[in-house]
Amino acid sequence: MDILDVRDIAFGYGRTDIWKQVTFSLAAGDVALLVGPNGAGKSTLLRCLAGWERIREGAILLNGAALESTKPAERSCMAFVADVPAFYDDLTAYEHVELLGRANGWDDGRWDEADRLLERFGIARFCDQYPQSFSRGMREKLACTLALAIQPDLLMLDEPTGPLDPTSARVLEEELAHAAASGCAVIMSCHHALETLQSTCILMLEDGRLKRLDGAVDDAFWKSV
């Protein structure tokens, strides 16, 4: 069974469709890169997949169940890193980790994994600070740490490498590859070829339609995106 099954979904405002008849599926270990020009609706599509926006028609299935009818506990198997991650003003970076861990009943191994990710992204020494004091790149790294620490079945990220320095972007790619190897389905929007992360498919969103390209693409493709 696919982790994510998207069936002929459409989204729009008023009488205007942003995109429609969007259909694709992701299985465990898939890594999909969502590409397309600015304004094509990539962020909106990811928000719909996360349940943050209501689709106009079609269906989104998460582990075989309709997303709109799933309970919060059932949605805990997915994580979404938005283009502008939001944090609580009165919680430090590590208090965000603690909140997430306690809410999900983490065992010792999961706490250790969260600590490892904080170290990997280079933000462990800043954990007593508030995220609003962080740079955009540091906020992105904290958001990715929290999402990866959940160890979700489905991980969605909206242009996560944009705010990151090259070293941190490489770390993120390596961690996403590790998550995919562990059975997580990953979908992320981007505008450029990745350095190390190998995708299983490209999802091209353009002119209100989505086209799936399986396998590798060449440099000429990325220059045209």
120: CB partners within 8 A, 6+ apart: 171, 175
Predicted pLDDT of residue 19: 94
pTM (2 decimals)?
0.93
Residue-level pLDDT at 217: 72
Q: What is residue 165's predicted lDDT score, i.e. its pLDDT?
A: 95
Q: What is the pLDDT of residue 141?
A: 98
Q: 211 vs 39, 156, 204, 214, CA distance in Å?
A: 16, 18, 5, 10
Task: Please give the DSSP secondary-structure letter assigned to residue 197.
Answer: P
Within 10 A of 87 (CB to CB), how many other CB atoms are there?
18
What angle is formed at CA 50 by the lines to CA 117 and CA 114, rounded to 5 degrees?
15
78, 20 Cβ separation under 8 angstroms: no
pLDDT for res 110:
92
Q: Residue 192 has what pLDDT?
A: 84
Amino acid at 177: A
Residue 186 CB: number of other CB atoms within 10 A? 22
Instruction: Using the structure block, give the residue that is written with the tokens 């928000």.
Output: 47
- For residue 81, what pLDDT is reported? 98
Q: Domain 4-224 is of which CATH architecture?
A: 3-Layer(aba) Sandwich (3.40)
pLDDT value for 41: 95
Three-state DSSP class for residue 156:
strand
* pLDDT mean for each 10 residues of the chain (225 residues): 95 91 97 94 96 95 93 90 96 97 92 97 97 96 97 97 95 97 97 88 94 79 70
Task: Supply the pLDDT for residue 56.
Answer: 94
Q: What's the first-to-final CA gap in the chain, in angstroms?
A: 32
